[in-house]
Chain A
Amino acid sequence: MNLIKRIIALTALAALLVASAAQAQDKGKNYGADAWYMHFDLDWRVDGGLPTKALIVSLQGLANRAAPQFYVVHPPEYQWEITGPLFDFYKRKHGVNFTLLQTTDEVLAKFKSAAKGYVVWDKSVGASLNVAFTIAGLEDVVVVSEELIPLVEKHGLKQFDDLRGRYAGMTDAQIYQDAYDKYWDRCIKDRIMLMGGHAGAVRMPGMADWGVNQRMFFHDLSANPNRPDHAAELALNRRLLSEIEPGGYVFGWHSYGKDTEEQYTTLLSMYGLRMEGLHNLPNLSFNHQFEFTPGFKFTNNHSVPLDAKLTAEEKVYISFVQSDSIGIGVWTKPGRGKLPFGWQVTMNWTEFSPAALEYFHESATPNDYFIGGLSGPGYMYPNHIPAERFPILMERARKLMDLLDEHIMEIMDNSAADGNVGNTDLTKETVDAYYREFPNVIGFLNGYGPARTRDLRDSRPMISYDYYIDPRRPRSEVAADLNELIALNANRPYFLLVHVRESNDVNSLVEVTKQLEGPVEIVPVDKFLKLAASNKTYTTRYQDPEDPKHFEGFPKE
């Protein structure tokens, strides 16, 4: 009798487990996972909070190797402002059961088994932190500065390597050359971690978990050809980029202390690679292990069908677009939804942060419309992409745009620009290539700051930004600027495309629109392009070789 009861009980238990597993499977990969989380503050000073954060994110990368177990929530003021909303999304849509870890001690107690030891970086040699992160990924160890050694040893971790003093007196080029010789062979080759960004007294390697998780080579080598003292760094940089697999990724961001965004992005584009940043983009080691929830399908808020034909009236048509990736934009700022807004989506997040994309789509208002970018499947400057690599990259972009239900491609090439001013134009060859590769889009947008590349072929316009809203510019001047553009472009219809810089407040833009003069209509960007296709009151123009260039680019090897 007891045996029968026991069999029945076991059978029932087994059935329950199978049913539960099936239910979890129905709800998606990693549904109902147990995970832990920690709150970070905003202290990233080398002499303050950085060493502990470096330790934690290195351990996060290791802890998340087998399963999504550890997530970091940043304050809303952190550049990636959605870690909190995304945390709630994981609980709500993926059933993740999070438990709070309050101290580094608790984090080590929970996840020390994921690490085989520790490597010590040298706080007096900045590059040693990046070398330590590389070692961490390859050897499954955490990175510590010397004051944290007792803490990790308390948890039974043994020293694997010690970089203190090893690089004393060496240049960054020499340090990274040494790291290249020792570690590059064993690092993953379709991606690399450019751990630059903040340099000096504050550093912010918020993306290091991902690099450690994926066993990437970390560096912050310069791409500045105007600094003779950086020549060796640039040479090694180019060697590394040339050895990354075709179409590969450069994660992270350029060093604010060595070069410019324009220089670095130009350089990687020459190798047909794509940038995925920033250096402080957190939690990818966690995020990439989730898929879209079952049954979820991207449905964009199209205001016009792909094959619609519209006729523009004698009006001024204005459309607002926010690029910079929606995660660091104005998504969480007050007023979203009050104006039609186009949002540039970092399309590769389908692979690295599906939940983030789903979160944005789920929380979109009818006035929020998503567009593809930047320039392709990642951030790149198309004027510099080798011709033979361009079709391969854009095929990937087309597939991602199909998946994301996007009909517009946004292009940005700041290689000749000076920050957000200057020359942001596309050569005719580049424009030809986009028209060839994207036969089924509504059209193209170009620029970051204002630009003057414009075209119309069949029903697909290419329109550049006529205005860039600097978030610091007084709103009265923004209104005056827009009114001046309306006055100078006196023919009707006039198509005024406006780029809204990250961190602008939508409510303040609503006030600006009330001050506009003339027959103004604010329209969604898909409708804007359809209207622009109907009456070409804009010139056809490409980058003129005689236009001033702030940066001339790199010599080909």
Chain B
Amino acid sequence: MNGGLNLHPFMKTALKRILLGGLVALGLAAMASANPAIEGRWSLDTAASTALDGWHKIDLDIALDGSKVSVGYTMQWRTTIHEATNVFDTEALVETKDFFRVEQRHMAVYPAKNGVTKALAKWIDGGKTLLTEALTPVEVSQGDTVMRITSEYRVSELGDKLTIIELHSSRNLPLVYVFNKVTEEATK
């Protein structure tokens, strides 16, 4: 068994398609404006969401800075707190060594050592929805492979709910995470 990147043929095709399509997407994305309602702190509504596995709680901090979208995660498992941030750019392909994925932690799927994640983002649906696509190398028992994670960030009309629909190239059942906006009043 080699320890290199073990790409499924489907993944190879997907990788090419996404990278080629990325340039077109970036051009289109530049025309779409960001949805400022996505900014702020969001707290996971566990009852309304797909069951977490190996985490009890998620808080998100989302910030916009020009074409950059920063998604900060504060994850909790028992008393353990883990913090991570993914930065996307709606005008450029982003490559990152420490991309964070909300893992199902009872699965033997780990971030690949020294793996570089390639990520794209764009605003769609008239700028209402953020679409991200990440090709992230993961380590499984047969070696390293790539998981494509496509996510839509949809903000409700009132701006009080954020629904993230996450689709894996390897999983037929989407993961749906519903967040409530954390208002300043609530944090007082």
Contact = CB atoms under 8 A, between A and B. Distances in A.
Contact of B105 (A449, A483, A540, A550): A449
Contact of B170 (A454, A487, A539): A487
A473 interface: yes
With most chain A CB atoms within 10 A of its CB, the pick from B3, B50, B107 is B107
User: Which label, helix, strand, loop or mixed, suits the secondary structure of the B interface?
Assistant: loop
A469 B143 CA distance: 22
Interface string B101-122: 0001111111001000000000
B3 A483 contact: no
Contacts of B141: 452, 454, 464, 466, 489, 494-495, 538-539
Contacts of B83: none
Given A421-B54, A480-B173, A488-B170, A451 B108 contact: yes
B57 interface: no
Contact of A419 (B50, B77, B104, B108): B77
Nearest to B1: A539
A311 interface: no
A164 interface: no
Given A487-B171, A539-B1, A539-B141, A481 B105 contact: no
Interface string B1-33: 101001010000000000000000000000000
A450 to B, nearest CB: 4
A450 B170 contact: no
Contacts of A476: 173
B140 A470 contact: no
Contacts of B187: none
Given A419-B78, A544-B113, A477 B51 contact: yes
Contacts of A470: 53, 106
Interface in A483-497: 483-485, 487-491, 494-495
B145 interface: yes
Given A450-B106, A485-B108, A491 B142 contact: yes
Contact of B51 (A466, A473, A489, A538): A473
Contacts of B51: 472-474, 477
A539 B110 CA distance: 14
B68 interface: no
Given A450-B107, A467-B108, A484 B53 contact: no
Going nearest first, the 6 A-B pairs with the smallest beta carbon separation are: A450-B108, A480-B173, A487-B170, A468-B106, A466-B108, A421-B105
Interface of B: 1, 3, 6, 8, 50-51, 53-54, 77-78, 80, 104-110, 113, 138-143, 145, 147, 168-173
